[in-house]
Chains A and B, each alone.
Chain A
Amino acid sequence: MVLLRSIDEITVEVAETVALKSNMLKHALEESNPEQFIPLPNITGEVMFKIVDYMTKQTEFESKKPQEIVEKSPELEGDVAKAKEALKAWEQTVATWEVAYMDVSMNMLYDLFLGANFMDLQGLLSLCAEKIASLIKGKTVKEIRKTFNIVNDFTPEEEADYVKKYEWAFTD
């Protein structure tokens, strides 16, 4: 078991197999004394629990992943089709869980993002990046600024100039 401690001194215990999902923890475990806890200086307790939740669930999903049959003979045709179906169903389950997991506030989203970046959790990083990208897609410039509280630091002339110059280049 591995002990993790958040910046607000909350500890949580995770199984080693789960902890190894994070590259940062993997390296830390290789080096430090197994008795002690691993500090997570950038992460609060709430975020830490959410991240551990992700790692635990991912480990669980991995263990339940249906085997793909690499067919060796025509008799196995039916089994191959069934295995494909099972794999699709599994992927669907994972995707559904991920959507529910990522249904969080903007603040939590940023925290998760930074936490995943710090702990080097590629899967969670991708999920967060996709989520933010999805918040950008389909929006106008003003809407994007509003969503992310961004201040427009262009002068009106600069903005108009850019639109005029490059509209040519972007016919579809």
Chain B
Amino acid sequence: MKGADLINTVVPEEVLMDILTRVESKPDLDSCALVCRKWNRIDRLTRRSVKIAAYGAADQLLARVIGRFTGLTSVIIDELVPLSSYFPPGLATPSRHRRNTLSGSRKRNRNSPESSSSSVEENEIEQHSLSDAGLSFLGVGCKQLEHLSLTWCQSLTSLGLVSIAENCRALKSLEIQGCYIGDDGLIAIGQNCKLLQELNLKFCEGISDKGLTDLARNSNSLTSLAISSCPSITDMSLQAVASHCHHLAALTLEMDSIKDDGVISIAKGCRSLKSLKLQCVNVGDLALQVVGSFCASLEVLALYSFQGFTDGSLCAISKGCKNLRQLVLTDCNLLTDRSLEYIARGCTKLEHIEINGCQNIESTGLESIGRFCSGLLKLSLVYCSMLLKSAFIEVGSGCSLLQSLHLFECPRFDDDAMCQIAVGCRNLRQVHLRRCYEIRDKGMISVGKNCKYLTDLSLQFCERVTDESLFAIADGCSLQHLSVSGCHKITNNGLAAIARSSPDLISLDISVLENIGDIAMAELAEGCPKLKEISLSQCTKVTDVGLTHLVKGCMGLETCSMVYCPLITASGLATVVSSCSKIKKVLIEEWKVSERTRRRAGSVLTSLCSEL
């Protein structure tokens, strides 16, 4: 049955360009580029952003990409990205090898496969890594570049960045992580890129006060600055920023070398400051008191590992920062309930509160929050083991707009408290409880009855929850995300109820459940066709047959974790890989991967975890 190709004949080209720019995701744009020559050409013009894992002849690769996509405004070059699926796991990467020999306790968040024997010579590293010449080529080829991000590009120096600065005068956002670029590069940026708004420097050993102060002097338009682990940057740079960058709205500092003086000068100089995030062991009460006095526009405040301050500073914040909407306090062990009482009374516009590991918070603080912050949308309390359940009663009665609740390791949070919250906060969309051992079914039944908008539920290791909870939730809510990891009493019946009532389910974590079997897999296949992520790890009863059932219905599966499942074999893995065309990531023991699956999966999977 042939119809006419109207989209290429009738729709004007600029309209087709508009359509393609709305197709945002990279895989979709890649597909569009292969549809026909016309779409290929339009994709060339409209593709604005490119992300390159620069392993292997990086300079040539970048040149090719720039040659093709002439309209690029955003380029991200990341030499930390794990090997693409082109290579079997275990192959050494030169850049990673070199990185491993560097000293220092650098945080590495990516899960990259371990490199086995890496016998790569130093000069080969130079060849593969992006060079100054390559970066220079980028500058010349993309004069309209607005966003540039360079991560762990080991061969780059100031020369490359100077070339970018001289060519890309429209640069708005620059991010440098773990490169050896020096002050000259930053100075050039300051002199040439007058539209610069965002600067993000992480692990930049080569950048010191000289570079940053010069840039600050020239960058009146800077609105966002983030500096992390750059040991040669001190308060002097912050003073320069405070003197010249009056539009600064967001500041994030993760630095041992910053002291009170630096933060004080920012507070006094940057009156438009809206967001302040500090992880600086040498900043204390004094700085925060000045922030409280001067930063009336502050909306977001995040303090990590603060040992140097007391309730007094939060009192100052509460008096001066009336527009505060988001407060995050992590590992602030000197905090007591008084801090929260001050904040609650002073910052009534609070929408988001997150408290992690503040062992001295008990109740009166949270009660005040409940009483005064009626606009609260998100509450997150992690490792606050002293919290009493009475605190939640006030939250239930006062915060009727609450949408998201996260409680991790609150051993005293029980069904009564959950009921109070469920009845009072009917707008709840997200409830994440972890290791709240006092929660049984009564609380969840109340949630099912009252919280009709709930789409995201997580009850990790709330070991007393049974199928009754899931029946009640299934009755009242249609979920998109569910985790019942470690809730040993859940059986196939509970899951079946959820599967039947949640056709929009996207992600499911049923790991560490001994009573779940193949029947649950069949129910999921029947009820949840949109499922993308599933974790079956340690579901000892699920077999290959169950997997066969599952993939029949859940054909859009992208992520599947199934380690420690003794009844799942290589055959089950092969079924998943062959039936799910969109599969991206499978977690399974290495020895279960057959040669055939490895060959087939190589072009499909992006990570096959092995060492277990």
**Interface residue ranges, A against B (CB under 8 Å):** 74, 77-78, 81, 106-107, 110, 113-114, 117, 125, 129-130, 132-133, 136-141, 144-145, 148-154, 159, 162-163, 165-172
> Which residues on B sit within 8 Å (CB–CB) of A133?
19-20, 22-23
Given the known inter-chain contacts A132-B19, A166-B68, please indicate yes or no for A172 contacting B34, CB distance below 8 A. no
Q: Which residue of B lies closest to A139 (CB)?
A: B31
**Nearest CB of A to B299, in Å:** 15
Query: Does B34 lie within 8 Å of A163, measured CB to CB?
Result: yes
> Which residues on A sit within 8 Å (CB–CB) of B86?
167
Further 13 A-B residue pairs, CB within 8 A, beyond A77-B375, A129-B19, A163-B34: A77-B374, A81-B401, A113-B15, A136-B23, A137-B25, A141-B34, A150-B7, A150-B39, A152-B36, A166-B68, A167-B86, A168-B53, A172-B26
Query: Does A153 lie within 8 Å of B36, measured CB to CB?
Result: yes
The 10 closest A-B pairs by CB, nearest first: A133-B22, A171-B53, A149-B3, A149-B5, A141-B34, A148-B7, A171-B84, A141-B31, A110-B6, A129-B19
Q: How far, in angstroms, from A134 to B357 measured CA to CA in the complex?
A: 44
Q: Which residue of A lies closest to B12 (CB)?
A: A117
**Nearest CB of A to B458, in Å:** 25
> Which residues on A sit within 8 Å (CB–CB) of B19?
129, 132-133, 136
> Which residues on A sit within 8 Å (CB–CB) of B25?
137
**Nearest CB of A to B87, in Å:** 12
Q: List 27 A-B contacts (CB under 8 A).
A: A77-B348, A78-B374, A106-B3, A110-B11, A113-B15, A129-B15, A129-B19, A136-B19, A137-B23, A145-B36, A148-B7, A148-B8, A149-B5, A150-B35, A150-B39, A151-B5, A152-B36, A153-B37, A154-B37, A166-B64, A166-B68, A169-B51, A169-B64, A170-B27, A170-B51, A171-B84, A172-B606
Query: Does A136 lie within 8 Å of B32, measured CB to CB?
Result: yes
> Which residues on B sit within 8 Å (CB–CB) of A170?
26-27, 30, 51
**Nearest CB of B to A120, in Å:** 12
> Which residues on A sit within 8 Å (CB–CB) of B10?
110, 114
Query: Does A159 lie within 8 Å of B34, measured CB to CB?
Result: yes
Q: How far, in angstroms, from A166 to B31 measured CA to CA in the complex?
A: 12
**Interface residue ranges, B against A (CB under 8 Å):** 2-8, 10-12, 15, 18-20, 22-23, 25-28, 30-37, 39-40, 50-53, 56, 61, 64-65, 68, 81, 84, 86, 348, 374-375, 401, 581, 606
Query: Does A138 lie within 8 Å of B28, measured CB to CB?
Result: yes
Name the one of A106, A137, A153, A171 contacting B28, with C-beta atoms under 8 angstroms: A137
Query: Does B23 lie within 8 Å of A154, measured CB to CB?
Result: no
Q: Which residue of A lies closest to B17 (CB)?
A: A129
> Which residues on A sit within 8 Å (CB–CB) of B52?
168-169, 171
Given the known inter-chain contacts A81-B374, A117-B12, A149-B6, please indicate yes or no for A129 contacting B35, CB distance below 8 A. no
Q: How far, in angstroms, from A139 to B52 measured CA to CA in the complex?
A: 23
**Nearest CB of B to A148, in Å:** 5
Given the known inter-chain contacts A129-B19, A136-B28, please indicate yes or no for A169 contacting B401, CB distance below 8 A. no
> Which residues on B sit within 8 Å (CB–CB) of A117?
12, 15
Q: How far, in angstroms, from A145 to B6 measured CA to CA in the complex?
A: 12
**Nearest CB of B to A24, in Å:** 15
Q: How far, in angstroms, from A71 to B10 measured CA to CA in the complex?
A: 50
> Which residues on A sit within 8 Å (CB–CB) of B4?
149
> Which residues on A sit within 8 Å (CB–CB) of B581?
140
> Which residues on B sit within 8 Å (CB–CB) of A149?
2-6
Q: How far, in angstroms, from A162 to B34 measured CA to CA in the complex?
A: 8
> Which residues on A sit within 8 Å (CB–CB) of B15?
113, 117, 125, 129
> Which residues on A sit within 8 Å (CB–CB) of B68?
166
> Which residues on A sit within 8 Å (CB–CB) of B6?
106-107, 110, 148-149
Name the one of B18, B27, B61 contacting A169, with C-beta atoms under 8 angstroms: B61
**Nearest CB of A to B428, in Å:** 15
**Nearest CB of B to A122, in Å:** 11
Query: Does A141 lie within 8 Å of B35, measured CB to CB?
Result: yes
Given the known inter-chain contacts A136-B23, A163-B34, A171-B84, please indicate yes or no for A129 contacting B18, CB distance below 8 A. yes
> Which residues on A sit within 8 Å (CB–CB) of B31?
136, 139-141, 144
**Nearest CB of A to B19, in Å:** 5
> Which residues on B sit within 8 Å (CB–CB) of A129?
15, 18-19, 22
**Nearest CB of B to A160, in Å:** 10
Q: How far, in angstroms, from A160 to B133 measured CA to CA in the complex?
A: 30
**Nearest CB of A to B140, in Å:** 19
> Which residues on B sit within 8 Å (CB–CB) of A136?
19, 23, 28, 31-32
Q: How far, in angstroms, from A171 to B64 measured CA to CA in the complex?
A: 15
Q: How far, in angstroms, from A171 to B348 measured CA to CA in the complex?
A: 45
Q: How far, in angstroms, from A78 to B401 measured CA to CA in the complex?
A: 11
**Nearest CB of A to B31, in Å:** 5
| Residue from the set B6, B30, B84, B581 with the largest chain A CB neighbour count within 10 Å | B6
| Residue from the set B35, B39, B84 with the largest chain A CB neighbour count within 10 Å | B35
> Which residues on A sit within 8 Å (CB–CB) of B39?
150
| Residue from the set A139, A141, A154, A171 with the largest chain B CB neighbour count within 10 Å | A171
**Nearest CB of B to A112, in Å:** 11
Q: How far, in angstroms, from A40 to B390 measured CA to CA in the complex?
A: 69
Q: Which residue of B lies closest to A80 (CB)?
A: B375
**Nearest CB of B to A115, in Å:** 12
Q: Which residue of A lies closest to B6 (CB)?
A: A110
**Nearest CB of A to B254, in Å:** 26
> Which residues on B sit within 8 Å (CB–CB) of A140?
31, 581
Given the known inter-chain contacts A129-B22, A169-B52, A172-B51, please indicate yes or no for A152 contacting B11, CB distance below 8 A. no
Name the one of B12, B32, B50, B375 contacting A144, with C-beta atoms under 8 angstroms: B32
**Nearest CB of B to A123, in Å:** 14
Q: How far, in angstroms, from A77 to B350 measured CA to CA in the complex?
A: 12
| Residue from the set A125, A144, A165 with the largest chain B CB neighbour count within 10 Å | A144
> Which residues on A sit within 8 Å (CB–CB) of B37?
153-154
> Which residues on A sit within 8 Å (CB–CB) of B34?
141, 154, 159, 162-163
> Which residues on A sit within 8 Å (CB–CB) of B36?
145, 150-154
Q: Which residue of B lies closest to A147 (CB)?
A: B7
| Residue from the set B3, B31, B64, B84 with the largest chain A CB neighbour count within 10 Å | B31
Name the one of A152, A159, A162, A166 contacting B65, with C-beta atoms under 8 angstroms: A166
**Nearest CB of A to B162, in Å:** 25
| Residue from the set A125, A137, A169 with the largest chain B CB neighbour count within 10 Å | A169
> Which residues on A sit within 8 Å (CB–CB) of B84?
167-168, 171
> Which residues on B sit within 8 Å (CB–CB) of A171?
51-53, 81, 84, 606
